[in-house]
Amino acid sequence: MEKVSQTEMKQLDEYFRDSLLIDKFDPQLEYWRKRRLEKSQSVNSEDAMVWNVFRTFNQIDRKLWVEQLFFKAFHQEFLHSTEQIKIVLWKKIRPPKSLGINEGKTDIDIIIESDTFVWFIEAKYKTDISLGTELSSKRDEVLRYIDVGTNFAGKRNFYFSLLILDKFNTPIGFRKANEYSHSFDKIIELLPHRVELPSLKGISVFQWKDVQSLFKTVHLYSKNKYERYITDQASYWLFDKIQDEN
Protein backbone atom coordinates (compact mmCIF):
# COMPACT_ATOMS: atom_id res chain seq x y z
CA MET A 1 0.00 0.00 0.00
CA GLU A 2 1.29 3.43 -0.92
CA LYS A 3 2.39 5.49 2.06
CA VAL A 4 1.16 9.04 2.62
CA SER A 5 3.87 11.46 3.74
CA GLN A 6 3.36 13.90 6.61
CA THR A 7 3.39 16.80 4.13
CA GLU A 8 0.77 15.13 1.94
CA MET A 9 -1.33 14.34 5.00
CA LYS A 10 -1.23 17.98 6.11
CA GLN A 11 -2.26 19.10 2.64
CA LEU A 12 -5.14 16.62 2.65
CA ASP A 13 -6.25 17.83 6.09
CA GLU A 14 -6.20 21.46 5.01
CA TYR A 15 -7.98 20.74 1.72
CA PHE A 16 -10.64 18.68 3.44
CA ARG A 17 -11.36 21.11 6.28
CA ASP A 18 -11.45 24.04 3.87
CA SER A 19 -14.10 22.22 1.85
CA LEU A 20 -16.38 21.62 4.85
CA LEU A 21 -19.49 23.67 5.45
CA ILE A 22 -20.50 22.27 8.81
CA ASP A 23 -18.97 20.77 11.97
CA LYS A 24 -15.41 21.53 10.82
CA PHE A 25 -13.89 20.63 14.17
CA ASP A 26 -15.97 17.61 15.09
CA PRO A 27 -13.90 14.91 16.87
CA GLN A 28 -14.99 12.34 14.27
CA LEU A 29 -12.73 14.05 11.75
CA GLU A 30 -9.77 12.47 13.51
CA TYR A 31 -11.09 9.15 12.26
CA TRP A 32 -11.16 10.65 8.77
CA ARG A 33 -7.39 11.28 9.08
CA LYS A 34 -6.76 7.62 9.92
CA ARG A 35 -8.99 6.54 7.06
CA ARG A 36 -6.97 8.65 4.65
CA LEU A 37 -3.73 7.12 5.86
CA GLU A 38 -5.16 3.63 5.39
CA LYS A 39 -6.56 4.22 1.92
CA SER A 40 -4.23 6.89 0.52
CA GLN A 41 -7.26 8.56 -1.03
CA SER A 42 -6.96 11.61 -3.27
CA VAL A 43 -8.37 15.03 -2.53
CA ASN A 44 -10.89 14.38 -5.31
CA SER A 45 -12.77 11.72 -3.34
CA GLU A 46 -16.37 12.03 -2.19
CA ASP A 47 -15.57 12.48 1.53
CA ALA A 48 -16.37 16.20 1.69
CA MET A 49 -19.64 15.57 -0.15
CA VAL A 50 -20.61 12.84 2.31
CA TRP A 51 -19.77 15.05 5.29
CA ASN A 52 -21.40 18.26 4.06
CA VAL A 53 -24.57 16.55 2.89
CA PHE A 54 -25.25 14.08 5.67
CA ARG A 55 -23.99 16.16 8.59
CA THR A 56 -26.37 18.83 7.31
CA PHE A 57 -29.24 16.33 7.14
CA ASN A 58 -28.35 15.23 10.66
CA GLN A 59 -29.26 18.70 11.97
CA ILE A 60 -32.62 18.84 10.19
CA ASP A 61 -35.96 17.46 11.35
CA ARG A 62 -36.11 13.88 10.02
CA LYS A 63 -39.71 14.38 8.92
CA LEU A 64 -38.54 16.94 6.35
CA TRP A 65 -36.19 14.69 4.42
CA VAL A 66 -36.00 10.97 5.27
CA GLU A 67 -39.18 9.93 3.47
CA GLN A 68 -38.34 12.10 0.45
CA LEU A 69 -34.75 10.85 0.21
CA PHE A 70 -35.96 7.25 0.41
CA PHE A 71 -38.50 7.89 -2.35
CA LYS A 72 -35.83 9.42 -4.60
CA ALA A 73 -33.67 6.35 -4.06
CA PHE A 74 -36.29 3.58 -4.29
CA HIS A 75 -39.37 5.19 -5.87
CA GLN A 76 -41.52 3.74 -3.14
CA GLU A 77 -43.10 4.85 0.12
CA PHE A 78 -41.03 4.83 3.30
CA LEU A 79 -42.87 2.50 5.70
CA HIS A 80 -40.93 3.20 8.90
CA SER A 81 -41.28 5.83 11.59
CA THR A 82 -39.07 8.89 11.25
CA GLU A 83 -38.65 8.97 15.02
CA GLN A 84 -35.37 7.83 16.61
CA ILE A 85 -33.49 7.71 13.30
CA LYS A 86 -29.73 8.16 13.56
CA ILE A 87 -27.04 8.81 10.96
CA VAL A 88 -23.54 7.37 11.24
CA LEU A 89 -20.70 8.11 8.82
CA TRP A 90 -17.73 5.87 7.97
CA LYS A 91 -18.46 3.03 10.33
CA LYS A 92 -16.55 -0.25 10.00
CA ILE A 93 -18.78 -3.35 9.99
CA ARG A 94 -17.71 -6.99 10.34
CA PRO A 95 -18.71 -9.55 7.69
CA PRO A 96 -20.82 -12.60 8.64
CA LYS A 97 -18.87 -15.26 10.53
CA SER A 98 -20.16 -17.77 7.99
CA LEU A 99 -18.09 -16.07 5.26
CA GLY A 100 -15.19 -18.27 6.27
CA ILE A 101 -12.39 -15.93 5.14
CA ASN A 102 -10.57 -13.21 7.04
CA GLU A 103 -11.93 -10.32 4.97
CA GLY A 104 -11.74 -7.70 7.69
CA LYS A 105 -14.26 -4.95 8.37
CA THR A 106 -16.05 -3.04 5.62
CA ASP A 107 -16.06 0.76 5.76
CA ILE A 108 -19.63 2.06 5.25
CA ASP A 109 -19.95 5.67 4.07
CA ILE A 110 -23.44 6.38 5.42
CA ILE A 111 -25.70 4.37 7.71
CA ILE A 112 -29.24 5.63 8.35
CA GLU A 113 -31.00 3.42 10.88
CA SER A 114 -33.60 2.97 13.58
CA ASP A 115 -34.83 -0.03 15.55
CA THR A 116 -36.85 -1.24 12.52
CA PHE A 117 -34.57 -0.64 9.51
CA VAL A 118 -30.99 -0.16 8.32
CA TRP A 119 -30.07 1.75 5.16
CA PHE A 120 -26.49 1.57 3.88
CA ILE A 121 -25.47 4.21 1.33
CA GLU A 122 -22.18 3.92 -0.53
CA ALA A 123 -21.18 7.24 -2.08
CA LYS A 124 -19.16 7.59 -5.27
CA TYR A 125 -18.03 10.74 -7.02
CA LYS A 126 -15.66 10.20 -9.94
CA THR A 127 -14.81 6.60 -9.09
CA ASP A 128 -16.31 3.18 -9.65
CA ILE A 129 -16.82 0.16 -7.41
CA SER A 130 -14.19 -2.52 -6.96
CA LEU A 131 -14.94 -5.86 -8.62
CA GLY A 132 -13.36 -8.02 -5.95
CA THR A 133 -11.29 -8.23 -2.79
CA GLU A 134 -7.81 -9.58 -2.18
CA LEU A 135 -9.36 -12.85 -1.03
CA SER A 136 -12.21 -13.16 -3.54
CA SER A 137 -12.20 -11.97 -7.15
CA LYS A 138 -15.99 -12.44 -7.44
CA ARG A 139 -16.97 -10.47 -4.34
CA ASP A 140 -17.69 -7.05 -5.86
CA GLU A 141 -18.21 -3.98 -3.70
CA VAL A 142 -22.01 -3.86 -3.97
CA LEU A 143 -22.30 -7.57 -3.15
CA ARG A 144 -20.03 -7.11 -0.13
CA TYR A 145 -22.15 -4.25 1.25
CA ILE A 146 -25.31 -6.33 0.86
CA ASP A 147 -23.73 -9.30 2.64
CA VAL A 148 -22.32 -7.21 5.47
CA GLY A 149 -25.44 -5.06 5.74
CA THR A 150 -28.01 -7.83 5.91
CA ASN A 151 -25.94 -9.51 8.60
CA PHE A 152 -25.61 -6.23 10.55
CA ALA A 153 -29.34 -5.49 10.25
CA GLY A 154 -30.36 -8.76 11.87
CA LYS A 155 -34.17 -8.86 11.93
CA ARG A 156 -34.47 -5.25 10.83
CA ASN A 157 -35.35 -4.43 7.20
CA PHE A 158 -32.23 -3.74 5.17
CA TYR A 159 -31.82 -1.39 2.20
CA PHE A 160 -28.77 -0.58 0.11
CA SER A 161 -28.19 2.38 -2.20
CA LEU A 162 -25.32 3.43 -4.40
CA LEU A 163 -25.13 7.24 -4.58
CA ILE A 164 -23.30 8.43 -7.71
CA LEU A 165 -22.57 11.49 -9.81
CA ASP A 166 -23.80 9.72 -12.95
CA LYS A 167 -23.60 6.36 -14.71
CA PHE A 168 -20.66 7.51 -16.84
CA ASN A 169 -18.37 8.00 -13.83
CA THR A 170 -19.56 4.82 -12.09
CA PRO A 171 -20.62 2.48 -14.92
CA ILE A 172 -19.90 -0.86 -13.22
CA GLY A 173 -21.54 0.17 -9.98
CA PHE A 174 -24.57 1.46 -11.86
CA ARG A 175 -24.89 -1.84 -13.71
CA LYS A 176 -24.32 -4.06 -10.67
CA ALA A 177 -26.76 -2.20 -8.42
CA ASN A 178 -29.49 -2.36 -11.06
CA GLU A 179 -28.73 -6.01 -11.80
CA TYR A 180 -28.97 -7.04 -8.15
CA SER A 181 -32.07 -4.94 -7.53
CA HIS A 182 -33.94 -7.10 -10.04
CA SER A 183 -32.64 -10.48 -8.85
CA PHE A 184 -32.33 -11.24 -5.15
CA ASP A 185 -31.99 -14.92 -6.10
CA LYS A 186 -28.76 -14.13 -7.95
CA ILE A 187 -27.39 -12.44 -4.84
CA ILE A 188 -28.00 -15.59 -2.80
CA GLU A 189 -26.27 -17.66 -5.50
CA LEU A 190 -23.22 -15.41 -5.22
CA LEU A 191 -23.25 -15.63 -1.42
CA PRO A 192 -23.10 -19.41 -0.83
CA HIS A 193 -22.44 -18.91 2.88
CA ARG A 194 -25.89 -17.30 3.23
CA VAL A 195 -28.90 -19.62 2.97
CA GLU A 196 -31.39 -16.76 2.66
CA LEU A 197 -31.61 -13.00 3.06
CA PRO A 198 -35.03 -12.30 4.61
CA SER A 199 -34.07 -8.82 5.79
CA LEU A 200 -33.11 -7.57 2.29
CA LYS A 201 -35.90 -5.27 1.13
CA GLY A 202 -34.40 -3.02 -1.51
CA ILE A 203 -31.36 -2.12 -3.64
CA SER A 204 -31.09 1.08 -5.65
CA VAL A 205 -28.84 3.58 -7.36
CA PHE A 206 -29.50 7.32 -7.36
CA GLN A 207 -27.60 10.52 -8.03
CA TRP A 208 -26.18 13.49 -6.18
CA LYS A 209 -28.47 15.78 -8.18
CA ASP A 210 -31.44 14.04 -6.50
CA VAL A 211 -30.02 14.99 -3.12
CA GLN A 212 -29.38 18.55 -4.22
CA SER A 213 -33.00 18.96 -5.32
CA LEU A 214 -34.14 17.65 -1.94
CA PHE A 215 -32.22 20.41 -0.17
CA LYS A 216 -34.23 22.94 -2.16
CA THR A 217 -37.46 21.26 -1.03
CA VAL A 218 -36.40 21.26 2.63
CA HIS A 219 -35.48 24.95 2.38
CA LEU A 220 -38.95 25.67 1.01
CA TYR A 221 -40.92 23.80 3.69
CA SER A 222 -38.86 24.21 6.86
CA LYS A 223 -40.05 26.85 9.30
CA ASN A 224 -36.75 26.85 11.16
CA LYS A 225 -34.33 29.63 10.17
CA TYR A 226 -31.24 27.59 10.96
CA GLU A 227 -32.48 24.63 8.91
CA ARG A 228 -33.19 26.91 5.98
CA TYR A 229 -29.75 28.47 6.28
CA ILE A 230 -27.77 25.20 6.33
CA THR A 231 -29.86 23.59 3.58
CA ASP A 232 -29.43 26.65 1.39
CA GLN A 233 -25.68 26.56 2.02
CA ALA A 234 -25.43 22.83 1.27
CA SER A 235 -27.65 23.11 -1.79
CA TYR A 236 -25.51 25.77 -3.47
CA TRP A 237 -22.27 24.01 -2.54
CA LEU A 238 -23.47 20.67 -3.90
CA PHE A 239 -24.86 22.29 -7.06
CA ASP A 240 -21.47 23.87 -7.78
CA LYS A 241 -19.73 20.58 -7.08
CA ILE A 242 -21.97 18.73 -9.53
CA GLN A 243 -21.78 21.42 -12.21
CA ASP A 244 -17.98 21.63 -11.99
CA GLU A 245 -17.70 18.00 -12.99
CA ASN A 246 -20.24 17.90 -15.84
Distances (CA, A) of 221 to 53, 69, 84, 184: 18, 15, 21, 37
d(CA 20, CA 51): 7
pLDDT surpassing 70 at residue 39: no
3 in a domain, yes or no? no
25 in a domain, yes or no? no
Asked whether 76 and 106 are in contact (CB, 8 A), the reply is: no
92 in a domain, yes or no? yes
Per-residue pLDDT tens for 126-146?
899 988 766 666 789 999 999
99 in a domain, yes or no? yes
The chain-wide mean pLDDT, for the chain, equals 86
27 in a domain, yes or no? no
d(CA 178, CA 192): 21
- Number of structural domains the chain divides into: 1
Per-residue pLDDT tens for 7-24?
544 544 555 555 676 666
39 in a domain, yes or no? no
pLDDT-derived band at 101, boundaries 50, 70, 90: confident
240 in a domain, yes or no? yes
Q: Read off the pTM.
A: 0.87
Distances (CA, A) of 67 to 13, 120, 152: 34, 15, 22
